[in-house]
Amino acid sequence: MKFLEKYLHKMEPHFEKGGKYEKWNPLFETLATFAFTPKLVTQKGTHIRDGVDLKRTMFTVVIALIPCLIFGIYNTGHWEMAVSEANRNLPYFDMIGTKFLNGLIIVMPVVMVSYAVGLGVEFLFGMIRGHSLHEGFLVSGMLIPLTMPADVPLWMVGLATAFAVIIGKEIFGGTGMNVVNIALTARAFLFFAYPTSMSGDKVWMSGLGDKMASNPEAVDGFSGATALGDLASFMSDKAMVAGEAVQSNVAVQSFSSEYTAWESFMGMIPGSIGETSTMACLLGAVILIFTGVGSLRIILSFFVGGFIMGLLLNLAGGNPYLDLPAYYHLIIGGFAFGAIFMATDPVTASQTATGKIIYGFFGGFLAIMIRVLNPAYPEGVFLAILFMNVMAPIIDHYVVQANINRRLKRLKTT
């Protein structure tokens, strides 16, 4: 590595102020600081610094996302094959290699587009502002593809990424300054700008849309919706035949036989690329919590909030959505993925310890509320988290105010 170090030394003057490639300094610095931890030393204050830096922290999140990515690739490959063979009940753990390869072909371009566009935009801003690339997008670039449906057109991914990085982050000042989660900004942008490509029953399995157009008989009766989408349709038609009193129970029963708790937990169901497997998300959670990168407070209170809302809705009852067992809510849709990877983003979450608990709790609570009580969208997790991102400073304000009041009280009593 001495060779590379020497080369960087040789090139460095060209990129410094007054050098011939001065403009490209942010790019050079990004690459140089990626390859080598720079030789910066402490000047003032503490003479030693903790070994950890933002690069390592962010990279840990990327590592935590790998189980979701790998499982997502396989799951995408599986449903692609299910569609092409027009067999909804295709055995899940069969032809593993082929499915994985197919999934890879579908997923990798999405990942690449997300990173290419996002990093491109960040470099552009870095060059305008004269700073090197900050690490935030390492994580956002992986999160964005994992929230996308398998069949999403690549140009949409690019557009959403550019929107999220510019409007969600750079106009606020870059990494550490954003108000709402970058990846969810991308998701929300597509959801509202191109709703037909982001929801419905055609987009979750790769190739299903095309097949429906060309050969509708082959996939007749083939629901390509997510579990949540399906639940909505169970509510409207499948349960109609039953009597008024049992309507809801029948729907829940037929739903839970189609999507068993085990399959939902493992993620063997259609959905966005990386979100389906609660198991994979929990593996990531273990990494995040153990290393201390993700906040246990937020993750736990998010799940508790969702579960409590689920129980409350069960008490109300009356339709299949309301009657769906509370634990089901935690394992289907993007709930676990949102709780573990989205809500925990330290920049947009509450910053105080007490605030994190309140923030997480209401995040989960609202996610299930929106999911169930909202007729328009079958999924509420990303909306709930975005809403709580906006609310986080207010929560913090009250927590900080409580701290201030304790101090004022002390002043009065003395």
Binding residues (CB under 8 A) for other proteins: these are: 1, 4-5, 8, 33-57, 59-60, 132, 134-136, 173-177, 290-293, 295, 346-347, 349, 351-353, 356, 400, 403-404, 406-408, 410-411, 414
92-102 in b/e form (b: 16+ CB < 10 A) is: eeeeeeebbeb
346 HSE (CA, 13 A, CB side) = 16
What lies within 8 Å, CB to CB, of 201 at 6+ separation is 223, 224, 225, 229, 233
Nearer to other proteins, 7 or 21 (CB): 7
Nearer to other proteins, 40 or 315 (CB): 40
Nearer to other proteins, 236 or 403 (CB): 403
CB atoms within 10 A of CB 155: 10
Nearest-approach distance from CB 386 to other proteins, in angstroms:
19
Tokens for 180, please give them.
Answer: 């709402």
Nearest-approach distance from CB 51 to other proteins, in angstroms:
3
Nearest-approach distance from CB 390 to other proteins, in angstroms:
17
Nearer to other proteins, 376 or 411 (CB): 411
Tokens for 350, please give them.
Answer: 């509450």
Helix (H) or strand (E) holding 331: helix 326-331
Nearest-approach distance from CB 40 to other proteins, in angstroms:
5
Handedness of CA 79, 84, 86, 91 (dihedral sign): negative
Q: Are 182 and 347 in contact (CB under 8 A)?
A: no
Nearest-approach distance from CB 110 to other proteins, in angstroms:
25
- HEC states along 223-261? CCCCHHHHHHHHHHCHHHHCCCCCHHHHHHHHHHHHCCH
Q: Are 3 and 10 in contact (CB under 8 A)?
A: no
Nearer to other proteins, 37 or 260 (CB): 37
Nearer to other proteins, 59 or 387 (CB): 59
Nearest-approach distance from CB 233 to other proteins, in angstroms:
41
Nearer to other proteins, 5 or 85 (CB): 5
Nearest-approach distance from CB 88 to other proteins, in angstroms:
43
